[in-house]
Amino acid sequence: MKLYGTVRSPYVRKAMIAAIEAGVDDEVEMIAPAENVWVGDGDAELSAANPLGKVPVLTTREGFSLIDSAVICEYLASIAPEKFAQPADAAERWEMANFQSLAQGAMDAMVAMAAESNIRPEGYGWPDWAARQRVKISRVLERFETLFAGSPPENLTLGLVTLGSALGYLEQRLGDKTWRANCPVLARWFDEFQRRPSMTSTMPAPLPPPDQDPRRG
């Protein structure tokens, strides 16, 4: 299998975490696209696998391409379903799906914030838009704080994989740990979750200083 992208992307990291947890990471070859793919210049191999030119993309065991991190994670989990919790009750399954969507939405807002602060050329940012994303993130994390207050989940789910990747991005990419003050239960869960081998082995390397980052300017 081939996974296009790098773990600097929380979406790609999420997929790689799922592969490790499923026990199939030794089958996955990670392929980094061209550095300029973010500006739409394209990467021939990536674009052939995904016309949208976005990562992650997974070429599966069967040889077809999957182009969305949620779909990719579902595929990887299907290889080793015993590794991920799958409630039999229909209502619990919908709750689990909603949990994953909330975590994914928070991740989307974090990436939007990063684009405003770190990628757009100077003078082209939209501070109000970034502030709106921060409000979304805060509300979602507060919801998880409430959900975890009674009893943090014990069994691994793709929702937890998504949440762990999102919180990692928030702290490592955006340098934001202020959320911990309002969400102490969630923070304790994350501290424990990020000790998992799947998290430690996919920790992104530190980013270069802004004036040395090729994505700026």
Which residue range forms the structural domain that includes residue 187? 90-196
Could you say which of 83, 109, 135 is where a domain stops?
83
Let me know whether 142 and 180 are in one domain: yes
- Residues 95 and 89: their CA atoms lie apart, in Å, by 10
Q: In degrees rounded to 5, what are phi and psi of residue 33?
A: -75, 175
Across the chain, where does the E strand assignment appear?
A: 2-4, 29-31, 57-59, 65-66
Please count the structural domains in the chain. 2
Is 27 in the same domain as 103? no
pLDDT tens for 173-209 read 889 999 999 999 999 999 999 999 999 999 988 765 5
Residue 23: predicted pLDDT: 97
Instruction: Kindly state whether residues 114 and 163 are assigned to the same domain.
Output: yes
Q: How does pLDDT run across 41-84, given as a tens digit for each residue?
A: 556 778 788 888 788 999 999 999 999 999 999 999 999 999 99
The β-bridge relationship of strands 57-59 and 65-66 is antiparallel
- What is the number of other CB atoms lying within 10 angstroms of the CB of residue 213? 12
Distance between CA atoms of 63 and 206, rounded to whole angstroms? 33
The CATH number assigned to the domain holding 73 equals: 3.40.30.10
- Residue 100, domain CATH: 1.20.1050.10
Question: Of 83, 101, 123, which residue constitutes the final position of a domain?
Answer: 83
Q: What single-letter DSSP state applies at residue 51? A: T
Residues 96 and 184 in one domain: yes
Q: What is the per-residue pLDDT across 114-162, written as a single tens digit (0 to 9) for each? A: 887 766 667 777 788 888 999 999 999 999 999 999 887 889 999 999 9
The predicted pLDDT at position 179 comes to 96
**Are 67 and 163 in a shared domain?**
no
Span between the terminal Cα atoms of the chain, in Å: 35
Q: Would you say residue 38 has pLDDT above 90?
A: no
Q: Are 80 and 24 in contact (CB under 8 A)?
A: yes
55 lies in the same domain as 120: no
Q: Indicate the residue type of 22.
A: A
Domain limit, last residue, from 83, 108, 136: 83
For residue 211, the SS3 value is helix
